[in-house]
Amino acid sequence: MEEEPEEHLDDYGGVSEEEDYEEPPPPPVNMRRGRRDTVYLAATKVEDDWRPPEFPKTDEERDRIHKYIEKTALLSYLDPSSKDLVVTAVEKLEFDDGQDIISQGDEADYYYILDSGKADVLIAKPLGSDPVKVNEYGPGGSFGELALLHGDKRIATIRATEVLKTAPGLASDCSRDQHCVTWALQRDTFRKLMMQSGKQALNERVQFLSKVNILKELDHYEKFKIAEAMQMRKVEDDEVIVKEGEPGSEFFIIQSGECHVYKQVLVDVTQCLLK
């Protein structure tokens, strides 16, 4: 069973089916690309003995990063051992208030998970004009993956802002002169981990969405963003997924199995008695 949590805006990119590591032709730089049902990863070869770099962390930091990974759609695809590799390989990078973490038009170098502080998403159309804020991230928010996956340039600027939110377990006495803290995964490390574990799962979800009637007409970018945001939920027999009359905050797609739909029907007791 698939669940779609809150979406987030990011750079654009994707993963492909090719296993021969040939460099695909670069697509045009824009928010929405042509229709196609697969996404691809910028050509990256993974050696058999490859191991990611290691950056020291406290046990508290490792636990917190693990929690972020479980809530990050792209990384939640990874198997447990690959998730451990991500925790080991991410590097702490700090940014001042107003400093750009990612700049629109630049080459992609890192994938980021925000640990503390807040970051605004800014887009300039055309490039060079005054940017407009279109979204923002708080602790646990992740960004930068799409340009890395696709080998494309950044299509948005992510700018650190004053620390208004803190990550779980961090001190709450934040002030404006504190740093915006991120955990960053270097480009080659990110791509190799995705090649090892994430590529096939993401492709399968994009292809699956192409078979869902109400989503068939979405373009590739829209399908990718939904696939990236979806999380797997397994339910037991007779478990209630949604209940009539309760507020709805989630959208579900059945990937396998069957569900029964029940609806309450109001009966006019007076009419029944008269009959």
Mind listing the domains of the chain with CATH numbers? 2-200 (2.60.120.10)
User: Which residues face 186 on adjacent strands?
Assistant: 110
Residue pLDDT, tens place only, 73-99: 778 877 788 899 999 999 999 999 999
Section 240-269 average pLDDT: 82
Lowest pLDDT segment from 14-23, 32-41, 143-152, 213-222: 14-23
Secondary structure E strands in 75-216 = 91-95, 100-102, 110-116, 118-123, 132-137, 142-143, 157-161, 180-186
Closest CA relative to residue 261, chosen from 271, 270, 252: 252
Mean pLDDT lowest among 126-135, 150-159, 167-176, 241-250: 167-176
- Asked if residue 45 lies in contact with residue 191, where contact means CB atoms within 8 angstroms, the answer is no
Q: What is the pLDDT of residues 213-231, one digit of tens each?
A: 888 888 877 887 788 777 7
The mean pLDDT of 190-215, rounded to a whole number, is: 77
